[in-house]
Structure 1
Amino acid sequence: MTRPNALESPSTQVGPLPRQGLVLYCPGVGGYARSHERATHLEIARRLAALKGFDGTGEFDPNRRYADPVYVLPAFTLVGTDSASALGIRSEHDLFGGVVPHSFAATKAITHPLIRCDACAPAGWSAEMGERVRRVVLPGFTAFSHGDALIAGRHLLDGGSVRVKPVQETGGRGQAVVGNDVELTAVLAAIDPADLSRHGIVLEEHLGNATTLSVGQVRVSDLVATYYGMQRLTMDNNGAAVYGGSDLTVWRGGFDTLLGLALPQPVRLAVQQACVYDAAATACFPTFFASRRNYDVVQGVDVRGRRRSGVLEQSWRVGGASGAEIAALEAFRADPDLKAVRVASVEAYGADAAPPPDATVHFRGRDERVGFISKYVMAERLGVGDAHGDEG
């Protein structure tokens, strides 16, 4: 892919002059364990400042009073409107990310219902959410106790293998696939009861030959961009398969813009399912709001050979694809007539995996946890007919 002039560094773009204001990166309690994530997010904060027309960035200091307007880039989904208000966040226009009323709502726990109406659940749990999304997710359950998890897992094993998923992990880390009761019991026995009660666990139908699509929307100031695309896996420095980036086709406008395109049927289905999930979360958690909405949709084959598709989880925080999302917004800001752009976020391991000359590099170096890693973004403009189908 070739990066056109419209996608150069924000400092070279024609746009509004900087005004008083700061984009503040808020890493959360304890900061980040991986320096590549901190560096990437600080670069995203810098580019967000240019999009907002603000004149600076920095890390949030809880001991400082900010006289100028601020826009916040939290590392995680914020929990509670009071916590958000303490950062000056009152709507989606004040942050890049999201705010939820309860901690479980920030995780994949809300994707599935409980196994029974009297099962253990945290305060604020929404039974309605599970009912609203059950036709757009895979068969599965969320559990907050070993007993409920065992019942749920045994129920799902009647239909084939089951994937057991810690709700706070990302990129597929910590998951296990079990095929019988012995394996299920062993996996659940290894989970700390206190962690299970506090965070929960997801048990879900396992698909073969699976691919993961991304459907999402970002809003910064007057810019709204919505996208679909595919996630890629790569090998890390230890030889494990991990998230390697996303290839996205981004359109100016909302979800209705995507649904107005002549999309391939699997993509259209993924967009429709993501929209149902998004609407359900908005209805079931009235105080929820987000300027960054990303939904992972898996498509594969079940044990009976049937094609299946379902939303796996949501991400209402800065994520692996956010560098690409920001590049798309930069392109739309630079060219008001531009309708679509194709962008890619790349995470490549090892010193030999050098970024192309036309890439926008967010990090390249040795991280103390994952070793040598390069993170960069590629982008190219699209004509209306260059994406999947013309506008309908």
Structure 2
Amino acid sequence: MSLQPSSAGLRGVVVTHAPDEHDHASEHERSTHAALARQLAGLLGYAAGGEYRPGRHGASHLYFLPSTTLTTDQALALGIRGVDDLFGGVVPHPFVATKAISHPLVACGAMAISGWNPAFAPCAGDAVLAGYSVFSLEDARQAGMKLLAQGPVRVKPVRATGGRGQSVARDAPGLDRLLAAADPAELARHGLVLEQDLDEVRTFSVGQVHVAELTASYYGWQRLTRDNRGEEVFGGTELVVARGGFESLLEPDPGPDIRHAIGQARRYDACVASCYPGFFASRRNYDVALGRDAAGCWRSGVLEQSWRAGGATGAELAALEVFRREPARTRVRTRCVEIFGASPEPPPGATVHFRATDPQVGLLTKYTVVEPDVHPH
């Protein structure tokens, strides 16, 4: 839908946008993005304009909520020039928005994708786990065998989200079975990540959002749940959100594990900016895993990045709304929850983004809560 002609002359309109017709295919994603667009409109003092329709929104400024990270070419075609034009991010090449950028190639002369910058992996260093990005089956097997010498290997499709589609190889035959199922065309076009597998894993979220001259940073803890097919997937995040940049998260001291995760996320973020000119984002989220490797040693690293609206965005925007209402407030706790199947009513005061049966994923409830905090400042 679009705004009626009476919207002409509005200061601004927030619009959702799916660059690819296959993006946002599910009902719950469309509904959630529409709800997030309304929240963004409230923060900006704009109108909510529904889905983007060129030339039909009648406003002096369009603010975009894309379903994916945009490329530079896509952004320029929409008139997006900087962080005040969208909630999300812009990258110079599509692969930069996927897991593929996180790891080095397996060897000199290994196949790489156009635009690949070999400087990123040494820049990120131990901010990521041990692993390789590969673009051919031959390189994938070589990478897998190298990693198997140290323990089990996690095979990760680079474009999947929420942990979906991942498998673990524990020996060479298992690796071969997984790679035999890989699509060579998908591999050459987008890549595949092979990474050390960890046990006893905890996943932290570290991120930052900038909307309407408000900047907030956060750390949090993810939880997993089972979807209606029984697959383990993202089930929500609890966030501690601070007004200001990443440095605002360090006082009071969040503890060694979270402090280390914040440092790894900041390093990863800085390396993207230095190695891929043209990158910018008003929403940055980094998943950082902490767990034990096959030798029993604790390891941690950024698993993936997200520069688009994600599972934690309801909680992010709820925190910004608190900061907008309460100018003296510097910290807030928020929580977003996703529950598959039958569930109790969301708690009083929750912002419900979706509570219905989605034709693709089944019964699903998604909501956000602002938690009471005895130390709000």
Give the alignment's TM-score, normalised by structure 1.
Answer: 0.91
Q: Is 1:241 aligned to residue 229 of structure 2?
A: no
Deviation digits for residues 71-129 of structure 1, max 9, x if unmatched? 000000001x2320211210011100000000110101111010112111111101010
Deviation digits for residues 177-220 of structure 1, max 9, x if unmatched? 00111111111111111000000000000000001100000000
Query: What residue in structure 2 maps to residue 73 of structure 1?
Result: 65
Q: Is 1:259 aligned to residue 250 of structure 2?
A: yes
28, 35, 41: which is aligned to 1:43?
35
58, 78, 87: which is aligned to 1:87?
78
Query: What residue in structure 1 maps to residue 137 of structure 2?
Result: 146
184, 192, 195: which is aligned to 2:183?
192
CA drift at 1:65: 7.0
Alignment of 1:78-157 (within 5 A): 78-79=70-71, 81-157=72-148
Question: AA paired with 1:55?
Answer: A
CA distance in 2, matches of 1:112, 1:49: 37
Q: Is 1:357 aligned to residue 348 of structure 2?
A: yes
**Distance verdict in 2 for CA 1:212–1:123, change over 3 Å:** same
CA distance in 1, matches of 2:88, 2:226: 28
CA drift at 1:67: 4.3
Q: Is 1:165 aligned to residue 136 of structure 2?
A: no
CA drift at 1:24: 0.6
Q: Does the residue aligned with 2:73 lie in a helix, a strand or coil? A: helix
CA drift at 1:241: 1.8
CA drift at 1:256: 1.3
CA distance in 2, matches of 1:137, 1:88: 34
Alignment of 1:303-382 (within 5 A): 303-382=294-373
CA drift at 1:58: 1.5
Higher relative contact order (CA 8 A, sep 6+): 1
**Distance verdict in 2 for CA 1:383–1:89, change over 3 Å:** farther
Deviation digits for residues 113-154 of structure 1, max 9, x if unmatched? 101121111111010101111211110000000011110110
Query: What residue in structure 1 maps to residue 4 of structure 2?
Result: none
Question: AA paired with 1:197?
Answer: A
CA contact (8 A) 2:13 2:57 kept: no
CA contact (8 A) 2:242 2:332 kept: yes
CA contact (8 A) 1:74 1:317 kept: yes
Q: Does the residue aligned with 1:312 lie in a helix, a strand or coil? A: strand
Q: Does the residue aligned with 1:286 lie in a helix, a strand or coil? A: coil
CA drift at 1:260: 3.8
Root-mean-square deviation (CA), in Å? 1.5
Question: AA paired with 1:331?
Answer: V
Q: Does the residue aligned with 1:135 lie in a helix, a strand or coil? A: helix
Structure 2: state its 5+ residue gaps: 1-8
Q: Does the residue aligned with 1:269 lie in a helix, a strand or coil? A: helix
CA distance in 2, matches of 1:310, 1:173: 19
CA contact (8 A) 1:213 1:230 kept: yes
Question: AA paired with 2:44?
Answer: K
Q: Does the residue aligned with 2:321 lie in a helix, a strand or coil? A: helix
CA distance in 1, matches of 2:194, 2:152: 10
Question: AA paired with 1:91?
Answer: G
Alignment of 1:170-249 (within 5 A): 170-249=161-240
Question: AA paired with 2:259?
Answer: R
Q: Does the residue aligned with 1:36 lie in a helix, a strand or coil? A: helix
CA distance in 1, matches of 2:14, 2:353: 17
CA distance in 2, matches of 1:247, 1:204: 26
Question: AA paired with 2:35?
Answer: E
In terms of mean alpha carbon deviation, does 99-108 or 18-27 score higher? 18-27
Once the two structures are aligned, what percentage of the paired residues are identical? 52
CA distance in 2, matches of 1:151, 1:168: 22
CA drift at 1:236: 1.7
Q: Does the residue aligned with 2:145 lie in a helix, a strand or coil? A: helix
CA contact (8 A) 1:143 1:201 kept: yes
CA distance in 2, matches of 1:67, 1:227: 32
CA distance in 2, matches of 1:56, 1:243: 28
Structure 1: state its 5+ residue gaps: 1-17, 388-392
Q: Is 1:32 aligned to residue 7 of structure 2?
A: no
